Structure 1
Amino acid sequence: MAIRVTCEKCLTRFNVSDKFAGKKGPCPKCKATIQIPDKTEEVVVHAPVDDGPKDSTGKSVLKPIMREEVRVTKLGIFSVAGSIVAAIIAAVVIRSMESVPGWIPPLGALLLAPPLVWSGYTFAREQELEPFYGRELQARVAICSVLFALLWALYAFVPAYVMDYDSVAEMPIGAVLVALAAMLAVGTLISVTTFELETGGGVVHAGFYIVGTLLLAMLAGIPLFAWA
């Protein structure tokens, strides 16, 4: 049986007969002296025992499970980027308006949800699990988007009833933090349920939407709390 040898000087690989095991000899290329490994130094790698079911030819009938990655296409990236740019432009336009109609904030919260939900899922999901894609992903994004948009109803109406404020513009920072914490808790539950995320991933996913919409609302000049 031949012994595989590598010259330490020129890195040439070649085989020598096992009768030269443990001896020295010249490299056939650079003539440097090479120490031939002893047979006891030989490493034998044994293949794992395959006890699974086999067909009539002896081949395994089981196929390895391939982990699939989220299919982030150029169209998806451009769609999200375009949505963000459009949202910023819309926020600037709204800020220049003398008065903001009451239907604009809830509509904005709903329209912003799909790109934020989809992009948030791409990095908040568990990497070792098979991702959702295709129509199933679209359905889950749609459901989560509607539920996330309703979180702002929680922010707008609960303080008015629980804390007796006439509008969110009267809420002090302490009340705002409590309301946002409640939104994050409910949003995490929505993310975990909708996308089967871990709790940490759910917090990141819900927080990504809440922070994104909050920043755009502030850019648009929509009053969400009392500054003083």
Structure 2
Amino acid sequence: MAIQVTCPGCLKRFSVGDQHAGKQGPCPNCKKTITIPKLEDQVIVHEAPPEGPVDSQGRSVLKTYRKKDAKFSPIMAGVAVGVVVLAVVAAVLMKSAVQADSLASIAIMAVAAAVLAPPIVAGGYMFLRDDELEPYRGTMLWVRAIACGLGFVVAWLLYGFILSRFTTPEDIVAGLEWWQLLIPLVVMFMVGLLASYTSLDLEPISAIMLFALFFISTGLLRVVMDLPFVPGLVFGSN
């Protein structure tokens, strides 16, 4: 460790190795004999400890630290795109077997939604997350994406449950009025927002955008299967 020395004659500052501690020698500038301070005589200035509570690394928990940004993952993006493509191909192959909003179609859509949700959630999270927070990565991200995806599936199931309580299957196939769709859609999006917010720590706007991404994806999947975008939405109905 270097020792900082100031010559009392010319006030020249320089440093010497710690092996010279306590010895005398000429100043390299004015040649006046000076005494090198001993190691224990050095004045070491320490940074003032943070006020208030600290974390395990000694940093104040009351101070905001900018977290390292997460890099875009080509593997994650590839998985998300691959799952969506496979779901679309499966929908095309099965659409001849699903002609209306029957129990079979609801079961198929529930399974499709459960499969689609995690990769869509994980991919959307990388773009919608708060840059000031430490991002979830790896296994932790996928666990939270699955939990969030299950919440999204529950949102779809609640939509169908509410419709079944206030309408009949015949009315759903024939088409509902907009006010009949409004309440289940609002409940559906509130559940989706809550799932995104609690699972991934997203801001409310980002949370609703993430669910909207999933909602649009599953709605388009229904369209591929020759079903309405959402059950009960039939254009041109009375």
TM interval, shorter chain, is 0.5 to 0.7
**Distance of 1:160 and 1:98 partners within structure 2:** 19
Please state whether the residue corresponding to 1:72 is helix, strand or coil: coil
Between the aligned residues of both structures, percent identity stands at 27
The residue number in structure 1 matching 2:75 is: 75
Match of 1:188 in 2: 193
Q: 1:210 aligns with which of 210, 215, 218?
A: 215
TM (norm. structure 1) is 0.66
Count of residues paired in the alignment:
173
Question: 1:195 and 1:76 mapped to 2: Cα distance?
Answer: 16
Q: Deviations over 1:49-101 (max 9, x none)?
A: 98435xxxxxxx97895622234322212111111211221121122336573
Contact 2:114 2:149 in 1 (8 A): yes
Paired residue type of 1:180 = L
1:176 CA drift (Å): 2.5
User: TM (normalized to structure 2)?
Assistant: 0.64
* 1:197 equivalent in structure 2: 202
Contact 2:163-2:184 at 8 Å conserved across structures: yes
Give the structure 1 partner of residue 16 of structure 2.
Answer: none
Match of 1:52 among 48, 53, 57: 48
Structure 1 Cα separation of the partners of residues 212 and 66 of structure 2: 31
Residue 169 of structure 2: aligned partner: 166
Q: CA deviation at 1:126?
A: 0.9
- 1:136 aligned to 136, 140, 158, which one? 140
1:93 aligns with 93
Query: Residues 121, 173 of structure 1: CA spacing in aligned structure 2 closer, same or farther, 3 A cutoff?
Result: farther
Which residue is 1:14 aligned to?
none
List gaps (5 residues or longer) in structure 2. 1-44, 50-56
CA distance in 1, matches of 2:176, 2:199: 32
Q: Report the Cα distance in structure 2 between the residues aligned to 1:184 and 1:50, rounded to whole angstroms.
A: 53
CA distance in 2, matches of 1:91, 1:219: 6
Q: Using a 3 Å threshold, how does the CA distance of structure 1 residues 179 and 98 change in structure 2: closer, same or farther?
A: closer
- Note if contact 2:155-2:187 (Cα within 8 Å) is conserved in structure 1: no
Aligned counterparts of 1:205 and 1:172: Cα–Cα separation in 2: 27
Task: Please state whether the residue corresponding to 1:209 is helix, strand or coil.
Answer: helix
Q: Deviations over 1:154-181 (max 9, x none)?
A: 11111111x2323643441512343222
Report the alpha carbon displacement of residue 125 of structure 1 after superposing the two structures with TM.
0.9
C-alpha separation in 2, matches of 1:136 and 1:214: 28
Kept after mapping to 1: 8 A contact 2:114/2:153: yes
| Closer, same or farther: CA 187–139 of 1 in aligned 2, 3 Å | same
Hey, what does 1:220 align to over in structure 2? 225
Q: Deviations over 1:124-177 (max 9, x none)?
A: 11112111112211111111111111111111111111x232364344151234
Asked if the contact 2:92–2:224 (Cα under 8 Å) also holds between the matched residues in 1, the reply is: yes
**Root mean square deviation, CA, Å:** 2.7
Aligned counterpart, 1:12: none
* CA distance in 1: counterparts of 2:177 and 2:71, whole angstroms: 40
